[in-house]
Amino acid sequence: MIMAGVNSCPRLMVVSDLDLTMVDHYDSENHSLLRFNALWEANYRHNSLLVFSTGRSPAIYKQLRKEKPLLSPDITVMSVGTEIAYGESMVPDNDWVEFLNQNWDRNMVIEETRKFPELIPQSETEQRPHKVSFYIEKDKAGEVIKALSESLEKNGLDFKIIYSGGIALDVLPHGAGKGQALAYLLKRLKTEGKVPDNTLACGDSGNDAELFSVPEVYGVMVSNAQEELLQWYAENAKNNPNIIHATERCAAGIIQAIGHFSLGPNTSPRDVPHFSECKPDNVNPGHEIVKFYLFYERWRCAEVEDTDPCMENLKVDYHPAGVFVHPSGVERSLHDCINAMRSCYGDKQGRKFQVWVDRVSPVQMSSDTWIVKFDKWELSGDERHCCITTVVLSSKGADASDGFTWRHMHQTWLEGWGGKDHSNWLF
């Protein structure tokens, strides 16, 4: 089953490339990525699907996840659409492997490519069962691709050659690639009765072009898209109104496309300076969690105006009998924790301090009560920590439109804390 937690059709499926699409390597603060994360967890996580589709092998994909504040996708497509994995534990799709094995002779590909000294093999990690990868200069690429295609054809091989980023050349089975992998996923979702209402493909380079050719898919080429993708667009998709070239870079371009195609909410909570301005249609447990941790980040960075009324307002949302169970096992009342926050106002001012939440999953327990489980990440200087957090929320009124009361909170260290820092009492 592709989507364990969701029983109906996903509202939106975002299928995004990573390097220079979801991740902006020129933005050391990861500003637009964090904006996307907040939007996704507040408005989409509970009823939508996030798919990463990257050229990276599993090894260097995992590396990127350590370096950047990437969310956990529901599905991971790696090695240019040749490896598909599901969920946090990344269960591989063996049917896809079997399909790609048909008429694929990796050794033959290696033998033929050896005849081209212009092709410089990529690192061992990037050579995969259904992907043989090289570097080649832009000016030599066209000629080599033509000659290599001819010799592979002569040998009766079913293959595909993809050129990306003006430097990388991948040889894959004919049925592989990011587009084919997406078409396969949509077919699988259909058999499970879970076709997404909308699908948005996002990319910046040559290996993403296929994503935009999948029928009934919206597409965004981020503003910083590579020449080879823009050229593909000019030759193949110029008149397709469902594909745009964003004016914004990377993840900001993805948010822009969600707005352009009216696919759902497109205001990231990070772009809302005061939460009293939030529209009521945004009220859901995920939004409540995102909103709180943004406040917490802003509070510690001294970015909150009117601190006294804010604290009083916050306290109203916390049940007087509510308890916070600290990862060390010690319990404290929620009101004591809120009071303790006062003395931490601005303690991270001028330093790198970012907080984001991942995998926010609310379960409704009764008409007015939710248990919300999520991973809370904190980046402080160069150190990154994660706490698995569980919160019990209840709605203030008959439904959630009047907001929530926090009743209970429990955290467990996942990574990084190691129990060293008991002075950190704050959520």
Residues that bind ligand GLC (CB under 6 A): 55-56, 60, 80, 122, 126, 133, 164, 168, 170, 207
For residue 80, the partner it binds in ligand GLC, Mg ion, none, with Cβ less than 5 to 8 A by kind, is ligand GLC
> In this complex, which beta carbon is closest to ligand GLC, that of residue 80 or of residue 334?
80
For residue 126, the partner it binds in Mg ion, ligand GLC, none, with Cβ less than 5 to 8 A by kind, is ligand GLC
User: Which of helix, strand or coil describes residue 80?
Assistant: coil
User: Which of helix, strand or coil describes residue 62?
Assistant: helix
For residue 17, the partner it binds in Mg ion, ligand GLC, none, with Cβ less than 5 to 8 A by kind, is Mg ion
Q: Which residues bind Mg ion (CB under 5 A)?
A: 17, 19-20, 204-205
> In this complex, which beta carbon is closest to ligand GLC, that of residue 124 or of residue 308?
124
Least spacing, CB of residue 408 vs Mg ion, in Å: 42
> In this complex, which beta carbon is closest to ligand GLC, that of residue 175 or of residue 362?
175
Query: Do the beta carbons of residue 85 and residue 91 sit within 8 Å?
Result: yes
For residue 20, the partner it binds in Mg ion, ligand GLC, none, with Cβ less than 5 to 8 A by kind, is Mg ion
Residue nearest to ligand GLC (CB): 55
Read off the tokens for 371.
């248990």
Helix H or strand E segment including 251? helix 250-260
For residue 204, the partner it binds in Mg ion, ligand GLC, none, with Cβ less than 5 to 8 A by kind, is Mg ion
Least spacing, CB of residue 303 vs Mg ion, in Å: 32
**Could you tell me which residues come within 8 angstroms of residue 172 by beta carbon, excluding any fewer than 6 positions away?**
80, 81, 82, 130, 131, 132, 159, 160, 161, 162
Least spacing, CB of residue 18 vs ligand GLC, in Å: 9
Least spacing, CB of residue 126 vs ligand GLC, in Å: 4
Least spacing, CB of residue 37 vs ligand GLC, in Å: 22
Bridge partners (DSSP) listed for residue 201:
15, 219
> In this complex, which beta carbon is closest to Mg ion, that of residue 17 or of residue 210?
17
Residue type, 210: E
Residue nearest to Mg ion (CB): 19
By CB atoms closer than 10 A (0-12, 13-18, 19+), residue 223 is middle
Read off the tokens for 124.
């061992």
> In this complex, which beta carbon is closest to Mg ion, that of residue 12 or of residue 20?
20
Beta-carbon count within 10 A of 143 CB = 12
> In this complex, which beta carbon is closest to ligand GLC, that of residue 16 or of residue 133?
133
Closest Cα to residue 254, out of 414, 15, 6?
15
> In this complex, which beta carbon is closest to ligand GLC, that of residue 127 or of residue 328?
127
Round to whole Å and give the CA distance between 389 and 392: 10
**Could you tell me which residues come within 8 angstroms of residue 369 by beta carbon, excluding any fewer than 6 positions away?**
392, 393, 394, 395
Query: Do the beta carbons of residue 222 and residue 253 sit within 8 Å?
Result: yes
Least spacing, CB of residue 165 vs ligand GLC, in Å: 6
Least spacing, CB of residue 19 vs Mg ion, in Å: 4
